[in-house]
Amino acid sequence: MKKVWIGLGTNIEPRQEHIQQALELLAKNSCITIRKQSSIYETAPVGYTDQADFLNMVLEIETSLSAEALLDFCQGIEQQLGRKRTIRFGPRTIDLDILIYNNENIKTERLIIPHPRMHERAFVLVPLSEIANELLLEKQNKRVGDLIAELPDAHDVKKWSSE
């Protein structure tokens, strides 16, 4: 079994429902076991900022799927939940990003692992730190918790409550 971290994000209502549906679809796959999940965090958009705030979280899973097969499965969930890829960094019903796959380095036309910008993104690192604070990101040779300390916007990532 491979240990994998996946980031989830959504900013199209009903946001909480999209996260929940994605979690349920991941859990239904017999080749995937969800081991840990972070809290849900609310974050401002990055890149294209004229859009609603995001809900983000990170999962640690174990899977027997290859990285490409997992990518296909995640993209299938995105399509099933109505994801439209029109604006880069634009609004989305759900986004599932493979952040780390078994500490492997993978570079294909479709997939780069570890995720090439995760170390710059508080909306990824803050939830990741909740479930894997000591995880070493090899390319940066730093632990998740140490990288967060270097991000000026980390304090803007807040735990979300549906109440």
The catalytic residue positions are 83, 92, 95, 97
Both structure tokens of 21: 């549906």
For residue 82, how many other CB atoms are within 10 A of its CB? 11
Does residue 125 contact residue 105 with C-beta atoms inside 8 Å? no
- 143 to each of 47, 99, 103, how far by Cα in Å? 25, 14, 13
Distance, CA of 156 to chain centre: 17
Among 131, 143, 135, 118, residue whose Cα is nearest residue 38: 131
Both structure tokens of 35: 């081991």
